Structure 1
Amino acid sequence: MRPRRLAAALGTLAAVLALTACTGMPAPAPSPTGLNSGADCGLPDGVRQTRFGSDIGADLGGIILGDGRTGVVLAHQNQSDLCQWLDYGVVLVQRGYRVLLFDFGGFGVSSGGSSTNAQQVAAAAMVLRADGATSIVLMGASMGGTAVLIAAPTVTPPPTAVVALSAPTVFSGNALDAAPKLTMPVFYGAGDGEGSFTRMAKELYDLTPATAKKLVYGPGTFHGVSLLDSGTSPLTLALTDFLTANAPALPPATPTS
């Protein structure tokens, strides 16, 4: 490097270091493996970053918590990101589940390309299974609820159970076409005062042939994830019973010597 260019580079570096010292701000650090998903959530210890979706033309960021053999994919609502599900995800981990929370393309840190929401959910299920989950639950709220319903018939092996809270019948795909194909246990939830969402939950429930299906209404206009805000609400307790009966938490596999 020529003397003048070297001097200029050293001057720039000195200026950066001086600014860092004056402001007390740390120098930029590399992001963790993945896309640094959930950076604004206040993530708990033990979070593992994951990045996936290249096979469907997407670049999706997510986090994995827990090590149980029953995995739960948590799909968020419109105009939100994975942080929305974090509190309930931690509850599931405490019960022995492994969970994957991710940002849909166009939200949080993710870009979806031409992939559909349902394709992104299916890709998340594959990641969770590759991480060690031997059975998968697909759980989504509002937009995410529609996505898990549409994704469920396309996932191989099929999900053990599906949970859709306040799911519209149509959002980035048509859940009315998917519901008749759902043969696994399905839990539908909505607020009893949610208007069209209350009606659509019943419509999807009626179209679902699964014998172990359940429809539970929460109070008032609570929507999606907020239906679970109270850990002792009838809907939250009903969901816990549903998971225990149809997709119980299985402990981590015992290492073989």
Structure 2
Amino acid sequence: MKIKTPIPRFWPGAARRAVPLAFAAAATLVLLATACGSSDSGSGSDVLFQAEDGLVIHGRVFGNGAPGVVLSHMLNGDQGDWTTFAETLAVRGFSVLTFDFRGHGKSGGGKEVGIADTDMSAALRFMRVRLNRPNVFLIGASMGGTAALKVASREEVLGVVSLSAPVSIRGLSALLDVERVASAKLFVAAEGDGKAASDAQRLFDLAGDPKQLEIVGGGRHGTDLLKGGDADRVRGLILDFLEQYRVGL
């Protein structure tokens, strides 16, 4: 099932304007990244950056093109879930950042889902300040999608892709945020994935234009939508969305 509102070929938003950053936060971010450097881990380069509360977040950078893309994983997953797709985006000329939410993968702390958006905000700052990519897309799977919508409600981005994002999960809610996301939005979920399809529909209904809803077959969730089943279709939807809104950059 496809529901799509009219989307202009050129969206006069973040593609041409970067969000101002707080000097102190930016300075801390750059100093940490410079001190830690990066190491080649075979696929991408490992990086470290700080969340607002000082927690160190582990990430990985792929490619050196523009614009930037930040990929965020599901609850109980890690950034490795995105590696194959990150490599695909890098080949297509994007700079890509994956990262482990706190309490996941190599990042420290506990699984504080209710503040997952603060980790994603830190990833966005890293992309803009350290990688010098002011124009950025946010893509999130499940919990990561909810966090992406919250961040996009207060930061100017090129667009947001939400894969199986719940309206709310363990204290993290996009219910009051999604209508404030001014950039283009793509919601994707599988019809057999519990509440995922109905939550995608609800978020789509609350969101303003431009927006697009795609309900695919099967019951895969989050980044698993990129494996088997309708994976080719889902990858195509995301890539088409990114190409549409990178126009003119």
Which residue pairs with 2:134 in the alignment? 134
* CA separation of 1:35 and 1:105: change in aligned 2, threshold 3 A: farther
1:178 Cα offset (Å): 0.8
TM-score normalised over the length of structure 2: 0.77
115-124 or 49-58, which deviates more: 49-58
Question: Greater strand share, 1 or 2?
Answer: 2
Deviations 1:101-156 (A, max 9, x none): 0000001111247781101111101101121213111110011111101111222x
Question: SS at the partner of 2:48?
Answer: strand
Question: SS at the partner of 1:221?
Answer: coil
Which residue pairs with 2:153 in the alignment? 153
Conserved 8 A contact 1:97-1:249 = no
1:249 Cα offset (Å): 9.3
Which of 227, 232, 246 aligns to 2:225? It is 227
Check if 1:68 corresponds to 2:52: no
Conserved 8 A contact 1:57-1:112 = no
1:236 Cα offset (Å): 2.2
Which residue pairs with 2:124 in the alignment? 125
Q: How does 1:192-211 map to 2 (within 5 A)?
A: 192-209=191-208, 211=209
Letter in 1 for 2:154: T
CA distance in 2, matches of 1:36, 1:140: 25
48-57 or 83-92, which deviates more: 48-57
Which residue pairs with 1:215 in the alignment? 213
Which residue pairs with 1:163 in the alignment? 161
Question: SS at the partner of 2:192?
Answer: coil
Question: SS at the partner of 2:175?
Answer: helix
Which residue pairs with 2:103 in the alignment? 106
Size of the aligned set, in residue pairs, is 210
Letter in 1 for 2:217: P
Conserved 8 A contact 1:35-1:109 = no
CA distance in 1, matches of 2:121, 2:92: 24
CA distance in 1, matches of 2:52, 2:37: 16
Which residue pairs with 1:190 in the alignment? 189
1:248 Cα offset (Å): 4.8
CA distance in 2, matches of 1:232, 1:222: 10
TM-score normalised over the length of structure 1: 0.75
Higher CA-based Rg: 1
Check if 1:143 corresponds to 2:140: no
Conserved 8 A contact 1:70-1:249 = no
Which residue pairs with 2:91 in the alignment? 94
CA distance in 2, matches of 1:112, 1:159: 28
Unaligned runs of 5+ in 1: 1-31, 251-257
CA distance in 2, matches of 1:181, 1:232: 30
Question: SS at the partner of 2:77?
Answer: coil
Deviations 1:62-107 (A, max 9, x none): 0111111211111001111110000000000011000000000001
Percent identity between the two aligned chains: 31
CA distance in 2, matches of 1:60, 1:52: 5
Letter in 1 for 2:159: A
Deviations 1:137-187 (A, max 9, x none): 1110011111101111222xx111001100011124211111111110001
* CA separation of 1:36 and 1:166: change in aligned 2, threshold 3 A: farther
Conserved 8 A contact 2:38-2:45 = no
Conserved 8 A contact 1:74-1:140 = yes
Question: SS at the partner of 1:176?
Answer: coil
Letter in 2 for 1:97: F
Which residue pairs with 2:235 in the alignment? 236
Conserved 8 A contact 1:176-1:204 = yes
